[in-house]
Amino acid sequence: MDRSKLIREFESILGPESVLHLDQDLALYEYDGALDRGRPDVVVLPATTEQVVAIVRVAAREKIPFHARGAGTGLSGGAIADQGGIMLAMARMKKISIEADNLRATVQPGVVNYDISIAAAPHGLYFVPDPSSQKACTIGGNVAENSGGPHCLAYGVTTNHVLGLEIVLPDGEIIWTGSAALDAPGYDLTGLIVGSEGTLGIVTQVIVKLTPLSEAVKTLLAVFPSIERASNAVSAVIAAGNIPAAMEMMDHTAISAVEAAKHAGYPTDAGAVLLIDVEGVREGLDGAVAEISAICRAEGAYEIRIPQSAVEREKLWSGRKGAFGAMGRLAPSYYVQDGVVPRSQLPEILRRVGAIAAKYDLRIANVFHAGDGNLHPLILFDDRDEEMTRRTIEAGNEILRACVALGGSITGEHGVGIEKRDLIGLQFSAADLDAMARVKRVFNPRNLLNPCKIFPATKMCIEVSTRRRAAMKKPVGEGGRELSGMIP
């Protein structure tokens, strides 16, 4: 279809202010928090489910690839338009409806994660999943990637807090999955959609479960001489029957960067620290803190700090949640990985990460969800250096291979997207992948919705991506440009 005609049709549906097609506007939507790039041919900003339906029907009619995007904080290229086409930016869909009596809320996909908890706070409630980007990331993206966060150790990740979904299928049909109640009959389509990375349908409403705020919270900062000692403490704490609300680890490199950037109160001489939250009723909480402290000391912690005020506690957590951004103190760029290992394998995987850093002559900072074994090694590099970038990507892939070899996974919460699609065969057999692909074809038979994600890249995906990267280096005119057709 002629691009100018498509733009006019979308302007008639949404209004001119909700259709972006100038190169300087499209450039803002060609990347997320990962390394891959892909510029859409047009960006549309719907505000209602009905507008999403109208856009999808146009895309289906013209056989044009289309993608949904939230805030662009993704870390695997899951919402990148590497095949071109139409991008639905969902940021204007941000209504929140709180039902405090029923411990739930109905929200649109463009709602920022943290805003749900702000809206629920007057009722003594909050939304548990708290990615480090929670003040920017949106619930639609959280659903797509099944996001986690520091406080998901005790309470579960996004899928454990979603009751139902309104979804626009790739042909424009609207369906509801799940229920506003705590259980629903039939297949668990909600569980299937959460974590499907936007390849099965576009989420337009989410019914989320809200959780009462804990009566009391205590935070511990356990300081260790080495990351190995801290790793051993993680397994020891949980093996003793203690399940903290959060259990985060940072190594010496990460601590140094965080302190320089945030002045959060971390000891810069430490080999590693554990930041632990313990929640519950006020009576008995001191006993749990004392038990965890004793285990940490037995495993080599030489200092335990317990914040004495909410301000001190918030400073420590602001350091942890600002850790990724603090890496700018150490290098122009960082590449974050998202592998998972069983907790008992933390010391071994961290030894392997160190060996990989030495092998590729790279510096790696470790900041991660230690309680559930979800690693976030931050590989520090300069993306202007092509050879260094190549080593960085190879090192990241080797870390993921090591995670799988130790009984883990290539992703815990960032998703597969573009970044890991050619590594998914490390974890699943050909029969496994074929079964998943058949499920995808039921929902997305023409593969127009978010194509070339999750599964190993086809020859057509690679050819189109290469062609688009070459085209994006050249000036593009405004009129008459043809859009790409159906992409396998």
**What CATH number is given to the structural domain containing 200?**
3.30.465.10
H/E stretch holding 315: helix 310-321
Identify whether residues 200 and 123 lie together within a single domain. yes
Identify whether residues 120 and 203 lie together within a single domain. yes
Identify whether residues 284 and 335 lie together within a single domain. no
Instruction: Give the model's pLDDT for residue 485.
Output: 45
Tell me whether residue 416 is in a domain: no
Tell me whether residue 364 is in a domain: yes
Identify whether residues 100 and 208 lie together within a single domain. yes
Instruction: Give the model's pLDDT for residue 276.
Output: 98
Last residue of a domain, one of 182, 197, 212: 212
pLDDT in 10s for each residue of the chain, 488 residues: 689 999 999 999 999 999 999 999 999 999 999 999 999 999 999 999 999 999 999 999 999 999 999 999 999 999 999 999 999 999 999 999 999 999 999 999 999 999 999 999 999 999 999 999 999 999 999 999 999 999 999 999 999 999 999 999 999 999 999 998 888 899 999 999 999 999 999 999 999 999 999 999 999 999 999 999 999 999 999 999 989 999 999 999 999 999 999 999 999 999 999 999 999 999 989 999 999 999 999 999 999 999 999 999 999 999 999 999 999 999 999 999 999 999 999 999 999 999 999 999 999 999 999 999 999 999 999 999 999 999 999 999 999 999 999 999 999 999 999 999 999 999 999 999 999 999 999 999 999 999 999 999 776 687 666 655 555 454 433 333 445 443 33
- And the tokens for 50? 């009905």
Separation between Cα atoms, residue 144 and residue 203, nearest integer Å: 8
Tell me whether residue 441 is in a domain: no
Q: Give 192-247 as a DSSP string.
A: HHTTSTTSS-EEEEEEEE-EEPPSEEEEEEEEESSHHHHHHHHHHHHHTT---SEE
- And the tokens for 331? 């290098």
Residue 43's identity, in one-letter code, is V
Name, in order, each residue with C-beta under 8 angstroms of 309's C-beta and a sequence gap of 6 or more: none
pLDDT of 62-106, one tens digit each?
A: 999 999 999 999 999 999 999 999 999 999 999 999 999 999 999
Identify whether residues 246 and 290 lie together within a single domain. yes
Instruction: Give the model's pLDDT for residue 233.
Output: 97
212 neighbors 289 (Cβ within 8 angstroms): no
As to burial, measured by CB atoms within 10 angstroms (0-12 exposed, 13-18 middle, 19+ buried), residue 484 is middle
Tell me whether residue 447 is in a domain: no
Identify whether residues 263 and 311 lie together within a single domain. yes
Rg (CA), the chain: 23
Last residue of a domain, one of 309, 325, 341: 325
Tell me whether residue 430 is in a domain: no
Last residue of a domain, one of 194, 212, 230: 212
Identify whether residues 208 and 107 lie together within a single domain. yes
Tell me whether residue 446 is in a domain: no
Identify whether residues 175 and 139 lie together within a single domain. yes
- And the tokens for 460? 């057509």
Separation between Cα atoms, residue 50 and residue 359, nearest integer Å: 53
Identify whether residues 229 and 247 lie together within a single domain. yes
Instruction: Give the model's pLDDT for residue 458.
Output: 78
What's the domain count of the chain? 4
Identify whether residues 226 and 269 lie together within a single domain. yes
Report the CATH number that the domain containing residue 244 is assigned in CATH: 3.30.70.2190
Identify whether residues 155 and 111 lie together within a single domain. yes
β-strand partners of 333: 381
- And the tokens for 12? 């008639």
Instruction: Determine how many CB atoms are found less than 10 A away from the CB of residue 283.
Output: 9
Which residue in the block uniquely carries the two structure tokens 């970038």? 389
220 neighbors 295 (Cβ within 8 angstroms): no
Residue 252, domain extent: 216-325
Identify whether residues 282 and 180 lie together within a single domain. no
How do strand 42-44 and strand 86-89 relate by DSSP bridges?
A: parallel
Tell me whether residue 344 is in a domain: yes
Tell me whether residue 175 is in a domain: yes
DSSP state of 48: S
231 neighbors 350 (Cβ within 8 angstroms): yes
Separation between Cα atoms, residue 175 and residue 189, nearest integer Å: 10
CA angle 167, 145, 197 (to 5 degrees): 55
pLDDT of 48-58, one tens digit each?
A: 999 999 999 99
H/E stretch holding 237: helix 227-239
Report the CATH number that the domain containing residue 380 is assigned in CATH: 3.30.70.2740
Report the CATH number that the domain containing residue 42 is assigned in CATH: 3.30.43.10
